Amino acid sequence: MSVKFITIEGIDGCGKSTQSLRIAEWLEERTGCKTVRTFEPGGWPDGKTLRDFILDSKSYSAMSELLLFLADRSEHVNRVILPSLRQGFNVICERYNESTLAYQSGGHKLNFSQVKRIIRACNFPEPDIKIFLDIPPEIAVERIKSRGNKSDKFEEEGLPLLKHVSETYRRIADDEPERFIRVPCGELNEDEVCAEILSRLEAVT
Ligand code: TYD
């Protein structure tokens, strides 16, 4: 199986960025192919304006929030992900469709099947592998607090939101076991999580 497009998912504070960097380095060495690291929302040229608007403003509806994330993804797919894949590069992306399903349905209470249908209608390219860092929400909340950064509007909702989002991620991963690498991170340190991901990726790359 040729794995070119990988997404990395999980609740806030799960350690996506750290692992994405390590996976990108490993993948580049293993495949000899440039690996583009990217993220959502806002991972495209000029994407910061839309990212800041989505994450700072509290005044729009849940449906508008969903559509804003999809607009962001449309630009990201067309300007970064597809051009990179067409050039033969690997792409590793922090957050993608599963974030939308987990946060906008699980977290912000839109209907799960409706959100799924709307995402599917967008026809975004499907990742080869989706990594899910499954961390207990209680641990994630502590990590977010200890970072001391200004919280975005999702982080401000804290534990209740993360619990719903986490349950929805599990449901999504259970529905599609063949594409998901799910790593229960509760007891594991950063190196152990990385070793687990790489050994599972090794089996499919
Ligand atoms: P992220 O950039 O991962 O946060 P951080 O600043 O910690 O790196 O994501 C920002 C927030 O956006 C996060 O709380 C999850 C949320 N989000 C959604 O609700 N739906 C989506 O489709 C995406 C991509 C992100």
The CATH number of residue 44's host domain is 3.40.50.300
**Average pLDDT for residues 141-163, to the nearest whole number?**
87
C-alpha 186 – ligand 1 centre gap (Å) = 21
- Boundaries of domain holding 128: 5-204
Q: Which residues pair with 66 in a beta bridge?
A: none
Q: Tell me the average pLDDT across 177-181.
A: 95
**Centre of ligand 1 from the C-alpha of residue 154, in Å:** 8
Q: Count the domains in the chain.
A: 1
Return the pLDDT at 97: 98
179 DSSP 8-state letter: T
Supply the pLDDT for residue 154: 84
* Atom number, ligand 1, closest to the C-alpha of residue 95: 24
Whether ligand 1 lies within 6 angstroms of the CB of 152 is answered as: yes
Is the pLDDT at 1 greater than 60? The verdict is: no
Q: In this structure, are residues 131 and 179 in contact, taking their beta carbons and an 8 Å threshold?
A: no
pLDDT at residue number 148: 82
**124 pocket-lining for ligand 1 (C-beta < 6 Å):** no
In 3D, which of 75, 78, 92 has the Cα closest to residue 25? 92
100 Cβ below 6 A of ligand 1 = yes
Token pair listed for 73: 């993804």
Establish whether residue 99 lines the binding site of ligand 1, counting it when its CB lies within 6 angstroms of any ligand atom: yes
54/67 Cα distance (integer angstroms): 10
The reply to whether ligand 1 has any atom less than 6 angstroms from the CB of 95 is yes
Helices (H), the chain: 16-31, 47-56, 62-76, 82-86, 97-100, 112-122, 137-147, 153-156, 158-175, 190-202
Q: Is the CB of 7 under 6 A from ligand 1?
A: no
Four-residue CA torsion sign, 20, 102, 183, 159: positive
Q: Which atom of ligand 1 is nearest to the CA of 100?
A: 22
* Residue 41 CB less than 6 A away from ligand 1: yes
Site to probe by mutation for ligand 1, drawn from 11, 40, 68 as the one with most ligand atoms within 8 Å of Cβ, is 40
Mean pLDDT value across residues 69-86? 98
- Per-residue pLDDT band for 106 (boundaries 50, 70, 90) equals confident
Distance CA(168)–CA(88), nearest Å, equals 33
pTM beyond 0.85: yes
